[in-house]
């Protein structure tokens, strides 16, 4: 290696290389902007949801180029305002585009704390408070699943949590695969419903199992996995010489909000010795409501669960718990490598609190803190109430959709995913011809474009199987009122009237 040359010789080291006073002053201003533009305006129903710009226009407006010299504080503050002004306001009461929405002030405070602390909960020494909080939050989530012991870790999103489940399942069956890789494993078989989240396919690709080995089990007309079809698929895959390993049941499918019948699926998994994972990324929060928990009846029989509090509970992106029934250290054995610079075994404290090796990540965001502080603020009952309020809002909207001309339900909702078509007057009364469906499929994208250009609201649409594009309305934000829901339908009617 070259000798350290004279690099930086002329830089004095006696004073800090940052202007700390100016930095604090800048932050004061940014906090004010955050409060006004990022919180107040973003949640103000009289403001627009989004300020649509074409990409080239936006590039120029934002003056994105990075230059040799830095800019002054005033310019930077203006940039902060621009970021907020030109971004989509996901906390707005008329933002319904995603499975996350809304702005919870306590959870946001938790995010500020997390960002400010800037630490990784991999060891107790560097994140004592956060490690213990994570432990508490995971234990509480497991308790709601119905497990008095177990394990878990926060992952960067439900997709990653699902992949961890697949990896741990493979490790339990084939512990040697960790060192030897996939080369001498049998061809594995994974099972998930046709309505399951696409992360199962991604995970199979990432883990070297192969997307061809994910078998999508048929669903019924409500989007639920048919247990008899699962049994048939398992038999078929076995007969072809593959080794069934893992079943992913979904509690709350992404589009329809369907809940797979967990007890029946658990019976099949028990009979064949398969790992049962429940992807409750979306629907897991129903466990918080005594009235709604029955949707996930049987979840305690699973081996692992994915649950995203960042969706229904408005905790903020991202917060995804991967929960495990096993308490024998499977997670640690599966992912742990015991890096000697981080997880020294001769530390002066209980090193079992150095939980970071349970994760395939090294540095990791402390995603438990924001959920912990929200939970402290509203209690388990408050969280459950929010889920019930989402149901109430969905039921109201359902009644309106049934009552109003031009709206047609895709199906009665089981959860809080309300799926419907808007049929403009030009198409009314022509149902059933292929031409009708072809035209109807173009309606939702056209209305969507109009609402985004107007900035009045945002809602998602998609085709599904043989069904042409329909809207999927999701209300997770308790700030949404009846007026917002009426507006939502009025606006669709107005934007779609002349199509």
Which residue's CB is nearer to ligand PLP, number 154 or number 391?
A: 154
214-217 and 188-193: which strand pairing? Answer: parallel
Least distance to ligand PLP, CB of residue 193, Å: 10
Closest contact distance (angstroms) between CB of 261 and ligand PLP is 16
Which residue, 168 or 440, has its beta carbon nearer to ligand PLP?
A: 168
Q: Based on CB atoms, which residue is closest to ligand PLP, 167 or 320? A: 320
When the beta carbons of 281 and 458 are compared against ligand PLP, the nearer one is: 281
b/e map of 188-221 (b: 16 or more CB within 10 Å)? bbbbbbebbbebbbbbbeebebeeebbbbbebee
Residue 280 near residue 299, CB atoms below 8 Å: yes
**Closest distance of CB 322 from ligand PLP, Å:** 11
Instruction: Write down the least CB distance from residue 459 to ligand PLP, Å.
Output: 16
Order of strands across the sheet that contains 188-193: 151-155, 320-324, 304-307, 275-279, 243-250, 188-193, 214-217
Q: Which of 452, 405, 398 is nearest to 425 (CA)?
A: 405
Q: How far is the CB of 231 from ligand PLP (least distance, A)?
A: 23
Nearer to ligand PLP, 242 or 476 (CB): 476
Q: Which helix (H) or strand (E) holds 468?
A: strand 467-474
Residue with Cβ nearer ligand PLP (188 or 278): 278
Could you give the maximum distance between any two Cα atoms of the chain, in Å?
83
Whole-number Å distance between alpha carbons of 477 and 479: 5
Which region holds residue 225: left if phi is over 0, alpha if psi is between -120 and 50, else beta? beta
Q: For residues 387 and 489, which CB has a smaller minimum distance to ligand PLP in the complex?
A: 387
When the beta carbons of 320 and 473 are compared against ligand PLP, the nearer one is 320
Show the tokens assigned to 377: 């603020």
Nearest distance, CB of residue 74 and ligand PLP, angstroms: 37
Residue 443 CB, shortest distance to ligand PLP, in Å, is 25
Q: Going along 175-274, which residue ranges are E strands?
A: 188-193, 214-217, 243-250
Nearer to ligand PLP, 123 or 254 (CB): 254
Task: Provide, rounded to whole angstroms, the least separation between the CB of residue 101 and ligand PLP.
Answer: 13
Write out the residues near ligand PLP by the rule CB under 6 A.
Answer: 99, 157-159, 162, 197, 199, 250, 252-254, 279, 281-282, 308, 318, 320
Whose Cβ is closer to ligand PLP: residue 114's or residue 320's? 320
- Identity of the residue, 213 or 250, whose beta carbon is nearer to ligand PLP in the bound complex: 250
Q: CA–CA separation, 418 vs 468, rounded Å?
A: 15
Least gap, CB of 15 to ligand PLP (angstroms): 44
Q: How far is the CB of 100 from ligand PLP (least distance, A)?
A: 8
- Nearer to ligand PLP by Cβ, of 100 and 407: the residue is 100
Strand, helix or coil for residue 215? strand
| Signed CA dihedral, 484, 485, 490, 493: sign only | positive
Residue among 212, 229, 289, 219 at smallest CA distance from 257: 219
Task: Rank residues 192 and 489 by Cβ distance to ligand PLP and give the closer one.
Answer: 192
Residue whose CB is nearest to ligand PLP in the complex, by number: 158
Cα 293 to Cα 237, 298, 383, 396, 459: the distances in Å are: 33, 10, 13, 21, 27
**The token pair that represents 166 in the structure block:** 């697949």
* Closest approach of ligand PLP to the CB of residue 99, in Å: 5
DSSP one-letter string for 176-196: THHHHTTTTSPPEEEEEETTS
State the minimum distance, in angstroms, from the CB of residue 35 to ligand PLP.
Answer: 28
Shortest Å distance, C-beta 365 to ligand PLP: 13
E strands, 356-436, are: 407-409, 417-422
Burial of 441 (0-12, 13-18, 19+ CB in 10 A): middle
Are 110 and 61 in contact by the 8 Å Cβ rule? The answer is no
Residues 6+ apart with CB under 8 A from 211: 201, 204, 205
């Amino acid at each position: 290696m070259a000798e350290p040359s004279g690099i930086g010789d002329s830089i004095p080291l006696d004073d800090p290389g940052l202007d700390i006073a100016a930095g604090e002053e800048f932050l004061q201003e940014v906090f004010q902007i955050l409060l006004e533009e990022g919180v107040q305006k973003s949640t103000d129903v009289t403001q627009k949801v989004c300020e649509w710009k074409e990409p080239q226009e936006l590039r120029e407006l934002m003056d994105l180029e990075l230059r040799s010299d830095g800019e002054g504080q005033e310019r930077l503050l203006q940039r902060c305002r621009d970021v907020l002004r030109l971004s989509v306001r996901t906390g707005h009461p008329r933002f319904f585009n995603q499975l996350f929405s809304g702005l919870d002030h306590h959870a946001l405070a938790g995010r500020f704390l997390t960002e400010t602390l800037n630490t990784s909960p991999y060891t107790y020494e560097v994140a004592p408070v956060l490690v213990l909080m994570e432990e508490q939050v995971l234990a509480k989530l497991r308790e709601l699943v119905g497990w008095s012991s177990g394990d878990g870790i926060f992952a960067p999103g439900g997709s990653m949590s699902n992949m961890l489940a697949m990896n741990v399942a493979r490790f339990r069956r084939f512990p040697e695969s960790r060192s030897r890789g996939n080369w001498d494993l049998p061809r594995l078989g994974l099972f998930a419903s046709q309505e399951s989240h696409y992360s199962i396919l991604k995970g199979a690709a990432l883990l070297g199992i192969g997307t061809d080995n994910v078998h999508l089990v048929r669903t019924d007309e409500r989007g639920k996995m048919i247990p008899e079809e699962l049994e048939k698929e398992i038999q078929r895959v076995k007969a072809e010489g593959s080794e069934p390993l893992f079943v992913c049941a979904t509690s709350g499918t992404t589009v329809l909000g369907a809940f797979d019948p967990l007890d029946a699926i658990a019976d099949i998994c028990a009979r064949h010795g398969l790992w049962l994972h429940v992807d409750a990324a979306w629907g897991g929060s129903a466990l918080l409501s005594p009235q709604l928990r029955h949707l996930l009846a049987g979840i305690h029989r699973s081996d692992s669960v994915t649950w995203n509090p960042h969706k229904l509970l408005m905790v903020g992106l991202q917060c995804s718990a991967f929960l495990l029934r096993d308490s024998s250290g499977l997670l640690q054995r599966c992912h742990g490598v015991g890096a000697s610079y981080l997880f020294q075994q001769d530390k002066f404290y209980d090193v079992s609190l150095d939980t970071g090796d349970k994760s395939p990540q090294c540095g990791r965001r402390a995603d438990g803190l924001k959920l912990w502080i929200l939970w402290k603020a509203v209690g388990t009952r408050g969280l459950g109430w929010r889920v019930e309020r989402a149901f109430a809002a969905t039921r109201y909207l359902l009644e309106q959709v049934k009552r109003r001309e031009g709206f047609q339900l895709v199906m009665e909702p089981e959860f809080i995913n309300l799926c419907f078509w808007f049929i403009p007057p030009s198409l009314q009364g022509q149902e059933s011809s292929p031409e009708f469906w072809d035209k109807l499929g173009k309606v939702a994208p056209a209305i969507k474009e109009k609402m985004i250009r107007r900035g009045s609201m945002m809602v998602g649409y998609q085709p599904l199987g043989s069904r042409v594009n329909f809207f999927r309305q999701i209300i997770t934000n308790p700030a949404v009122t009846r007026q917002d829901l009426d507006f939502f339908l009025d606006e669709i009617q107005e934007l779609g009237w002349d199509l």
